[in-house]
Amino acid sequence: MQDLSLHILDIVENATKAGATLIEIDILEDNNKDLLQITIRDNGQGMDEEMLNGATDPFVTTRTTRRVGMGLPLLEQAAKETGGNLLITSAPGKGTEVVATFQESHIDRRPVGDMGATLTTLIMGNPDLDFIYYSNLDGDEIEVDTRSIRGELNGSISINDPAVINLIKDLFRKRR
């Protein structure tokens, strides 16, 4: 994957398949610690200990259409290439948390990518789910909470209406 936003898209799609109704994405950059950290939390069905232990094995998957699962193993590889790590915590009925850390300045750290496009793709494809997105990249903060947006819309239009999607994308465009 070319950038980290595509890894995030893949991991969040896993959460939607696991029945999550609320997904949180946090991206924090701390230049003083030379750290980039991505955290994805969901309230999905979670994983038992056996599945959790095999989560980064590309030959362990819950999919029936193919016998490999590359999302978590590729994210782990991307983190480790920069001296970072991947930590997954999960329990049945309690959801899952994936934390990927990267050495911010490492030459092999992939760019974060277009998180505006990633988030709006997730919202358009999953209009009934709630997403909380927060990023602080080099002091530039962006917050999007679909629960608040829905409250403002008050049922007048759908959250995946093109006008709403464009407003969300504009939050990210202003910061480039």
Q: Please list, in sequence order, all residues whose beta carbon lies within 8 angstroms of the beta carbon of residue 58, skipping any fewer than 6 positions away.
A: 68, 69, 70, 73
Encode 100-118: b = buried (16+ Cβ within 10 Å), e = exposed. bbbbbeeeebbebbbbbeb
- What predicted TM-score, i.e. pTM, was given to this entire model? 0.90
Q: Report how many domains make up the chain.
A: 1
Please give the biggest Cα pair distance in the chain: 48
For residue 80, what are the domain limits?
A: 4-173
50: domain CATH number is 3.30.565.10
- DSSP SS3 for 132: strand
Residues 135-170: pLDDT tens digits?
998 888 999 999 999 999 998 899 999 999 999 999
Confidence class for position 114, pLDDT limits 50, 70, 90: very high
Residues 15-67: pLDDT tens digits?
999 999 999 999 999 999 999 999 999 999 999 888 888 777 666 555 444 43
- What pLDDT sits at residue 39? 98
**Strand-pair partners of 28:** 37, 136
- What pLDDT sits at residue 174? 65
Q: Is the per-residue pLDDT at 176 higher than 80?
A: no
- C-beta separation of 103 from 83 below 8 A: yes
Residues 100-110: pLDDT tens digits?
999 999 999 99
**Strand-pair partners of 22:** 130
- What pLDDT sits at residue 66? 41
